[in-house]
Amino acid sequence: MRTILMAGAGVALLATGASAQTATPFTRDANAAVSATLPLEDREDEGFATRGFIATWPDAQIRTADGRVAWDFTSYASITGAAPDTVNPSLWRHAQLLTKHGLFKVSDRIYQVRGFDVSSMTIIVGDTGLILIDPLTTAEVAKAALTLARTAVGDKPVRAVIYTHSHADHFGGVRGVVEQADVDAGRVQIIAPEGFLEHAVGENIIAGAAMARRATYQFGAGLPGGPTGSMSSGIGPGVSTGTVTLIAPTRTISRTGEGMTIDGVQIEFQVTPGTEAPAEMNFYFPQFRALCLAENANVTMHNVLTPRGALVRDAKAWADYLTESQRRYGDRSDVMFTSHGWPRWGAARVSDFIGSHRDAYKYLHDQSVRLMNQGYNGAEIAERIALPPSLSRRWFNRGYYGTMSHNSKAVYQRYMGWYDGNPAHLQPLPQEEASRRYVAAMGGARRVIAEARKSIAKGEYRWAAELLDRVVFADPSNAQAKALLAETETQLGYQAESAIWRNMYLTAARELREGVTARGAQVTSPDFIRNTPTSMVLDLLAVRLDPAKAGEGRVTIALVFPERGERHLVSVANGVLVHEAGVADAAQATVTMPRALFLQTLLAPQAGGLAGNPAVRIEGDTAALGRFMGFFDAPDPNFAIITP
C-alpha cells in the first residue's frame, strides 16, 4: 500500500507539500486561522488543571497481572510546546491540559486522581476512612490511583464507593479498590442513582457488537498518541485497557434532596436521569461547600448522541437540570468538581460556569428546534448553527468531544427521526449500489478521481472525501481511490477541533491503508454477565436469531435455573424469539441447569456439550434443544465501516 500511495494518490498530495505524516498548506492555513480566533488571554484553565498537584505514579506504565499494559503514561508525552501543523491548535491546548496526570488536592479532605484513565477518581476523606467517587474504568488503574492517594491521605479503609452514573468508565475499576466480602459484610457501601444497574449492564447489551466496533473509531483504538495520531478523547486522555468489573449497588438514590451521612460526611443528592446517562446524579457536600456535577458538566461540550451509538440524549433536560443545580448549589459552592477534567474554585466562578455551560446546551436545543420548525433538516441545521461569541469563547463550551454539528443533528433526530421529509430520501438506494451508479453517471472512476484531485488541490477535503467515498464503495479494490481517500481523511483529522472527530478520521485513514485490525469477539466482563437479568440475556439471544437458520421451524424450550428460582419459557416461531418469565406452559424440552452454564453456552454455543453435561437435565425432546441452539449467529466484531 505504501508503494501505491507514493506512486498514485500520494503524488497529488505531495505536490501540495504534504505526505501522510504532514499537513498540507491548506491544513496549515486552516489551523492558523483557528489560532487567530482563540481566546488565548483566558488562562484560567491552565491554573485550574495544575492546582493542588502532589505527585504522580512513579512508573511509566500500569500493568495487569498477566503483564498487559493497562495504562501508558508516555502515550501523550510528545504533547508539549507550540501546536504543530498537524493538530488543530485549540485541540492541542486542550490535550496538553487534559493529559496532566497525578494526585491533586482539591480542598481540605477532597482529592482527585486525574490522567490515569478517560475519567477521574475523587477521594473524600471521612472521619475514619475514604469515600471514593467513580473508580475509573478498570481495576488495575483504580488500584494504582488509590495507592497513590493513600500516600497523601494515609492508609485508610474505603467506607463507600459512589457511582455518579451508569457508564463503565465510572464504575469498572471498583474491584481494584474494594473487596466483595467487605461489601457483603456491610463494611463498604456502594451507592448509585436509581436505575443504575439496569442501564449499566443493559445499555450495550442489545447493540453491543455494533457499538464496540464503532467505539474503535471514536476512541482511536490502535492510534498512537501524538501530533499525527490520537490527541486524547476530548474528555480525558484515553480509555484504560485493564479488567472491567462491577459490584452491584447496596443503596440507590431516587429523589432530589435525598441525603445521607457516610463516615461523618454529609451528602445531598440531585438526580438527573436522561441527561448524559440514563441514570445519573449530582451531589453536594455542605460541610465542604463542594459540588460534584458528575458528567453533566465538563471541560468541553459533550455528546447529545455519541458517535459510537446510543439512545439520543435530551439536551433540554440536560440544560434544565443544570439550571436546577445552579439554583440549589451555585452560590454555596466554593469548589466544583466533575467526573472528567479539572475542578473550578470560587463561588462566583462555579456559578458562572454552570450558567454558561447550561446556556450552551439550551442554545443548542432551542436553536436546533427553531431552525427545524423553519423547515431545515438535520444536515442543513448543522451547517447553520453556531454558539454566539459570548458562549463559544468559553473554553469549556468548545467542541473537543461533542460538537454543535453532531449535536444539532441529534436534536433533530430526537424530535423528527432519520427522515428529513423529502420523499427522494424516503427509500434511497443502498450505499454500494448508489455509489456504482453515481460513479458511472460521472463518467467512471478515473473521472471521479480526477475531480477529487482538483478538489484536493483547492483544499476542499470534505467534497473530495465524498467523491472518493463513492469510488471506494463502488469498487473497494480501487487502491488509488482508497489511498487518496486515506490522505483526505488524514487532513480532515489534522484540522478537527474535536478529539473524537480526529480519532474517527485518522482511524478511517489507517484502515484504508492497512485494513481492519482483526480482534476477537467482545468478551463481556464476568461481573456484567453475573449482574445481567435473565430477561436481558434472552433479549440478546433474540437479536442474534437468524431467520434463515430458523426457517419455518417452531421450538419451545423451558429454561430452569434452580439456583435463582427462575423458569423462562422461550419460543421460536416465524423467525421470532419470544420469552416469558414464570410461565408453566408445556414445552418441547425442559432444560434445568445453572444459569452460568447457560451463559457460557450462549457466548460459545455447543448444543452437544449441553446435552452431555452432567450439570444439565433435559426432559422431553432433546433434539429440540439442538435445533434451538442452531438458530443463532454471532456478530462480526470486525465488520467494515470505511469500505463496503
pLDDT over 90 for what percent of the chain? 87
- Predicted pLDDT at 18: 52
- Predicted pLDDT at 629: 86
Residue 609 banded pLDDT, cuts 50, 70, 90: low
CB neighbours of residue 482 within 10 Å: 25
Residue 614 banded pLDDT, cuts 50, 70, 90: confident
Residue 319: exposure state from Cβ atoms within 10 A (0-12, 13-18, ≥19): buried
pLDDT digits (tens, 9 = 90+) for 329-388: 999 999 999 999 999 999 999 999 999 999 999 999 999 999 999 999 999 999 999 999
Closest CA to 250 of 163, 341, 380: 163
Amino acid (1-letter code) at residue 215: A
Contacts of 85 (CB under 8 A, 6+ apart): 22, 23, 27, 28, 31, 494
Closest CA to 379 of 454, 453, 462, 264: 462
The predicted model gives 466-495 an average pLDDT of 98
349 phi, psi to nearest 5 deg = -70, -40
- Predicted pLDDT at 599: 83
Q: Does residue 1 surpass a pLDDT of 70?
A: no
Judge whether 315 and 366 are in contact, CB under 8 Å: no
Q: What superfamily in CATH does domain 68-347 come from?
A: Metallo-beta-lactamase domain (3.60.15.30)
Kindly give the residue spans of alpha helices, DSSP state H, lying in 287-388: 315-329, 347-373, 378-384
pLDDT digits (tens, 9 = 90+) for 529-588: 888 899 999 999 999 999 999 999 899 999 999 999 999 999 999 999 999 999 989 999
Ranges of each domain in the chain:
68-347, 533-629
Q: Across the strands, what pairs with 290?
A: 285, 335
Question: In Å, how far are 35, 54, 75, 540 from 104, measured between CA atoms?
Answer: 30, 6, 21, 42
Judge whether 115 and 233 are in contact, CB under 8 Å: no
CATH architecture of the domain covering 533-629: 2-Layer Sandwich (3.30)
Angle between helices 431-441 and 461-474 (to 10 degrees): 110
Amino acid (1-letter code) at residue 199: H
Q: Does residue 113 surpass a pLDDT of 70?
A: yes
